[in-house]
Structures are given as C-alpha cells and as structure tokens.
Amino acid sequence: MQVLVIGSGGREHALAWKSAQDESVTNVFVAPGNAGTALESKITNLSLDTNDFSKVESFCKEEHIGLVIIGPEQPLVDGMSDYLQSKGIKTFGPSKAAAQLEGSKTFSKDFFVKYGIPTAAYAAFDSYDASINYLDNIEYPTVVKADGLAAGKGVLICQNKNEAVSALDSIFKDQAFGEAGSSVVIEEFLEGEEASFIAVVSKDKIIPLATSQDHKAVGEGDVGLNTGGMGAYSPAPIVDDHIHKKIIDEVMKPTMEGLISEGSPYLGFLYAGLMIKNGELKVLEFNCRFGDPETQPILLRLKSSLVDLCLAAINEQLESIHVEWTEQHSCGVVIASEGYPEKYISNKEVQIHPEDDHDTKLFHAGTKLVDHNVMTSGGRVFCATALGTNLKEAQSKAYNLVNKVSFEGAFYRKDIGFKGIK
C-alpha cells in the first residue's frame, strides 16, 4: 500500500516516518515534505499543489494511494478531507465543518457552552471599538485571541488594560495575524498546569493516545511570547487516572456527541489543550489535528501501526484495534531559528553529526535540501526526540541529540520536561 502525508513540518516528518515503518506500506509520499522526509528510506517528497484538491485527487488515483493523512490545520479547515473522501479516497482528517473547532475560536467557545464542556469565561468581538470598551469590565490578567488560524501564535496574555489595548491594536489595526484577526475572543485567564490530550476519533468511538505536555512559551520557565511549541514530553504526570477519566467524560464524549448532533461527526486526530488545577480541568482550545511538537515524542512511543489505526477509524472499526505503547518516556526539544516566533532568519546551512543511539530521532521541521545540503527554511527547524526509562533519561538523550545539530542563530530552551521531573 502507498500512503500520502500532507504537510511540511516536524509533525509530518513524524507521521511519514511512522507510516513507513509499516510492513504493508511500500512507499510514503509527502507533499511538500522537508529535508528530513527527503532523506528517509521509503519516503518521497512531492512538488504537488495541495491547494488544488483536484490535483491531489489525480495523484492519489494515479498512484493508487490507500491512505491520505492530512497533517496541518489549514487544508482541513479548507475542506480537503471532504473533497478527497467524496472522490472515494480514504482520508484521515475531519470535515470542514468539524474542523471549525480549530478554525474559529468563537465557534469552539460557543460550542463548549452549548454542550456543557468546561472552559474559561469569554466574549467575542468583530469590531475594534466594542472589544476596547469591554476591557473596562474585566479582571486582569486576561487573554486576547485572534479568532482564526494563526500557527499557534495568535494568543496574547495581557497583564493589564494597556497590554490588552496593545494586543487589540496589533490584531485589528496592524493585522499581525491577517484574516485570522478579523475577530477576537477575550477570555478569562486560567491558572494551573497545561496538558495536551490527543485522541483518534471516529464518530462516537475514541482511542486516546499517550498523554503529553508541551511548552508553548519561547523562554525557559515558560515565559515570553507564545510559539507553536518549543518542546514536549510524554507521558504527562499531571494526567493521572482520575484526570484521564474526567477528560473522556467531560470533554471528549460531549464533543463527539455534540458534533454528531450538529451533523458533523468527527474523524481524525482530536486535540484538547487543557488547563488542570486541583483535580479540575477546563478546555483552553481544540485542535483538529495532531499537535506539533507533541506528535514527535508520542509517535516515538507508539509500538503498533499508525496506518492500521487510521484505516480502522476511517472504516468505523476502532473497537477492533489494539494500540501498543512502550513504557519508556519520551522528550522532544525544538531547535529554532534566531528571532522566532517573530521575524526570523532562514537559509542557514545546517551541520548534523550522525546519530548513534537507536532511542533517538531527529525530526526535521523547517528545513529544505539545496544541492544536497540541509538548509533552514522555518522558525522551528528541528525537534530532537529521545526515549528513556524515565523522563530525566529521555531529556538527557534529547539534549545530547540537540548538541549534534548546529547552524548560525540556532537556539532552544534548556528546560523542556522540567515540570515532569520531580
């Protein structure tokens, strides 16, 4: 069987790498992929215009693609999954309607309230003046969010009214997030510990994946600007058996049932970003795809077939699938370009020393091949990922791998996983 993965980041490298391990898979295509996918055996990068769904369809039919996995959020929100499925192509990813859980923060917040899913108090605005006036009526700190897709960067924590005004100026007047900022959500600031809960969902059936926790802030100690994620580890100690059951009962099941009643049953990875405090939880946001960088440490722990899992979900046979995980812990450290998450510098040549540990994997994110040389091409460039008997060992191995990579302007957080190490 042949598999097509849509996307170019670290998540897609991990999805393609894991799919290629399947004995039933002869080749994995990635559109467009990156330098990492180009260098893998059984994986081929494609120059395919993924914005043109008919071209994707033609390729799938010509190459007899048995499974399409859509990695990033934009093609899902644009309806790629609906289109390919309507053409008889087995595609793993939610419909355009279901992907609104991520595509619009106003939609998702209204959905949470409608179906009794615990979340922070909020108000939504599509005008600058109305949102400014609202700032006099709230407590601080507060959270200002661009409504649409902003690559994980459209969330601004504001300590006081002046910061909130600056955030709204940036979104509405400066159009810092483009169309994503045509409306905003202003939300109660929640305290506690964040965790990522990602599951494979098929209508009313669910298989939770290994728990994880990511580090969104650019600076050590979880301070500074929000990013797409500077690293992640798995499992997340904060998600104990009690919390795990609460997430299933209070978040995932009502979401699945709500989407069915809305006429948009879910198929794909469903990601709940959660805030947990004193045994209680609230949903910060939903993502309609696998998280990045959570994908990398989670898939490093997956022993069973990713391809079989995706196909079982598509065929509504999740109950027949057994998912196996290693007992080992994993840790992934993002290596980023100077300036990220703001304006960053690209096109730097990368030196990579060979890996000598089978428990490690360097996943590429923002890279490209130029004349057989690996060059940087994004804000987040790599995710150095490792397994260990405990988190401390996994963390140590991940940082050893980080030290095997160098390029001008490279930086990374030196504390990924600190919350999970007692």
> Over the stretch 110-142, which tens digit does the pLDDT of each residue have?
999 999 999 999 999 998 999 999 999 899 999
Q: Is the pLDDT of residue 357 over 90?
A: no
Q: Do domains 2-93 and 329-420 have the same CATH topology?
A: no
Taking only the tens place, the pLDDT of each residue in 42-67 is 999 999 999 999 999 999 999 999 99
Q: Is 288 helix (H, G, I), strand (E, B) or coil?
A: coil
What's the mean per-residue pLDDT of the chain?
A: 94
Q: What are phi and psi of 374, to 5 degrees?
A: -80, 125
Nearest of 208, 201, 279, 198 to residue 232 by alpha carbon: 198
- Four-point Cα dihedral 392, 395, 397, 398, nearest 10: 170
Domain boundaries defined on the chain: 2-93, 127-182, 193-320, 329-420
- What's the rounded Cα separation, in Å, for the pair 287 and 199? 11
Q: Is the pLDDT of residue 177 over 90?
A: no
- Split at pLDDT 50, 70, 90, the class of 98 is very high
- What's the rounded Cα separation, in Å, for the pair 213 and 342? 23
pLDDT in the model for residue 180: 78
- Split at pLDDT 50, 70, 90, the class of 181 is confident
Q: Is 279 helix (H, G, I), strand (E, B) or coil?
A: coil
The two three-digit tokens of residue 215, written as one number: 């580090």
- What's the rounded Cα separation, in Å, for the pair 207 and 233? 19
Domain 2-93 has CATH 3.10.150.10: no
pLDDT in the model for residue 149: 82
Question: Domain 127-182 maps to which CATH number in 3.30.300.20, 3.30.1490.20, 2.40.160.40, 1.20.58.2240?
Answer: 3.30.1490.20
Taking only the tens place, the pLDDT of each residue in 293-335 is 999 999 999 999 999 999 999 999 999 999 999 999 999 999 9
Q: Is the pLDDT of residue 151 over 80?
A: no
Residue of higher predicted confidence among 270 and 357: 270
- What's the rounded Cα separation, in Å, for the pair 281 and 283? 7
- What's the rounded Cα separation, in Å, for the pair 236 and 241? 11
CATH topology of domain 329-420: Glycinamide Ribonucleotide Synthetase; Chain A, domain 4 (3.90.600)
Crossing angle, helix 10-20 and helix 306-314, to 10 degrees? 100
- What's the rounded Cα separation, in Å, for the pair 318 and 377? 38
CATH topology of domain 193-320: D-amino Acid Aminotransferase; Chain A, domain 1 (3.30.470)
pLDDT in the model for residue 152: 65
Q: Is the pLDDT of residue 356 over 80?
A: no
Q: Supply the DSSP string of 85-106, one letter for each residue.
A: HHTT--EES--TTTTHHHH-HH
- pLDDT mean over 389-415: 97
Q: Are strands 267-277 and 280-287 parallel, antiparallel or unpaired?
A: antiparallel
- What's the rounded Cα separation, in Å, for the pair 310 and 18? 12
pLDDT in the model for residue 260: 98
Q: Is the pLDDT of residue 153 over 80?
A: no
- pLDDT mean over 388-411: 97
- What's the rounded Cα separation, in Å, for the pair 181 and 177? 5
